[in-house]
Amino acid sequence: MSSKRKAQGIHQEHNLTGYLFILPLMILFAVFLVYSFYFLFQTSFQSVTISFKNPEFVGLQNYKIILKDLRFLKSLFNTLLLSGANIFIALTLGFLVSVFLGFRFRGVKFFNSLFFIPAMLPVSFIAAVFSSMLEYKEGTINMFFRAIGLEGLAQQWLSDPHLAMFSVMSVSIFLIGIPIMYYTADIATLNTSILEAAVIDGAGLGQILRFILYPLLKNSHKTIALSMLLGGFREMERVYLMTDGGPGGSTEIIGTYIYRSTRSAGSNLGAVSAAAIIVLIVAFIIAFIQIKFFNSKKGE
């Protein structure tokens, strides 16, 4: 359908008009993005502080430093871990909830909105709420455990190095609003006669979910997985407000790593730029796969 539409359009060239239409975009991109890439690339070979005065050319040294920096490697790993948690929860819990909300029962509209609300709220807000909820002494979770006599379950959720990353990842459960949206849109276009046929053949709920609905929604799975993979590199406030990368760097992600390194006094921004370049390359590769996927879908 779309390829036919794409083939239409005006075949005569209107170079000047075309460029005038994209002029505002080109100005913003030239000033902010093209220059940024150039700046990052150049700075990544220099030793320089936030004043940007007297840069000193150091060649590949920054890249050597950054690739040996355990905190950076850990943050890259944690970023992918966070993306992985987001994807896993979206493809399981998000999928189940979307299908279940396709049934009619009392209050289904209310539940639909309820599950969506956290996706609309600023992540910084959710992180702040969770960080006070998970606090050891006065947090609601531990108070709840103590109240029902399960004192042993009260934990140092955010300051125990073994638990902190799990606490941060658990917030993902509440961020399934956007995946639900994708699934719901996809489910609305499904041919329900397949499902009816399965019911007549005696398939139960579990079988329909696993063998029919899950494979049928595979385009949604891919869309969600790819966009959430990139989403990990956008994360910052969740970790920043819940654990600030701690304890001992155990929850550091790319977002907090770059922010902290930029802000801490006297740090070498050349090394941070080298880190940014490395992350940028990884992100571009993911985006490239994503676009390839969408283009191939269009060609169907």
Partner 1 sequence: MDLFKATKAEKWMIKLFIVGLALLWIFPMYSVITNSLKVEGLRNYSYVLTNKINKVPFPYYFVNSFIIALGSSTLVLLTCTLSGFAFSKIEFKFKKIIYNAVIMCLAISGPIILIPFFYILKNLGLYNTHLAVILPEVVMTIPFGVLLMKNYFDSLPSTLIESAHIDGANMWQVFFHIYFPLAKPAMINLGVLQVMWSLQDFLFPLMFLTDSKKFTATVAVNSFKGVYGVTGANLGRYNAALVLIGIPSIIIFACVQKYIVNGITAGAIKD
Shortest distance (Å) from residue 129 CB to partner 1:
5
Tokens of 229: 């993979």
- Binding of partner 1 by 135 (CB under 8 A): yes
Contacting partner 1 (CB under 8 A), which of 88, 136, 145, 174?
174
Specify the residue, 57 or 100, whose C-beta has the smaller distance to partner 1.
100
- Binding of partner 1 by 182 (CB under 8 A): yes
**How many residues at the interface with partner 1, by CB under 8 A?**
115
- Please identify, among the stretches 55-63, 150-158, 159-167, 185-193, the one whose residues bind partner 1 according to the rule CB under 8 A: 185-193
Shortest distance (Å) from residue 200 CB to partner 1:
9
Assign 3-class secondary structure to 140-174.
HHHHHHHHCCCHHHCCCCCCCCCCHHHHHHHHHHH
- Binding of partner 1 by 163 (CB under 8 A): no
Shortest distance (Å) from residue 250 CB to partner 1:
19
47 strand-pairing partners: 56
Measured in degrees and rounded to the nearest 5, phi and psi for residue 110 equal -60, -45
Q: CB count, 10 Å around CB of 228? A: 23
- Binding of partner 1 by 121 (CB under 8 A): yes
3-class DSSP assignment, residue 88: helix
Is 36:28 a contact under the CB 8 Å cutoff?
A: no
Is 35:254 a contact under the CB 8 Å cutoff?
A: no
Shortest distance (Å) from residue 257 CB to partner 1:
8
Contacting partner 1 (CB under 8 A), which of 60, 67, 73, 117?
117
Contacting partner 1 (CB under 8 A), which of 32, 53, 59, 148?
32
Contacting partner 1 (CB under 8 A), which of 80, 81, 173, 216?
173
- Binding of partner 1 by 214 (CB under 8 A): no
Number of residues assigned to the chain: 300
Contacting partner 1 (CB under 8 A), which of 65, 154, 216, 283?
283
- Binding of partner 1 by 220 (CB under 8 A): yes
3-class DSSP assignment, residue 124: helix
Sign of the Cα torsion 55, 72, 87, 133 reads negative
Measured in degrees and rounded to the nearest 5, phi and psi for residue 46 equal -120, 160
Shortest distance (Å) from residue 149 CB to partner 1:
19
Choose among 171, 206, 224: nearest CA to 100. 206
Q: Is 148 exposed, middle or buried (0-12, 13-18, 19+ CB in 10 A)?
A: exposed
Shortest distance (Å) from residue 220 CB to partner 1:
7
Specify the residue, 75 or 164, whose C-beta has the smaller distance to partner 1.
75
- Binding of partner 1 by 290 (CB under 8 A): yes
Contacting partner 1 (CB under 8 A), which of 92, 207, 262, 264?
262
245: left (phi over 0), alpha (psi -120 to 50) or beta: left
- Binding of partner 1 by 18 (CB under 8 A): yes
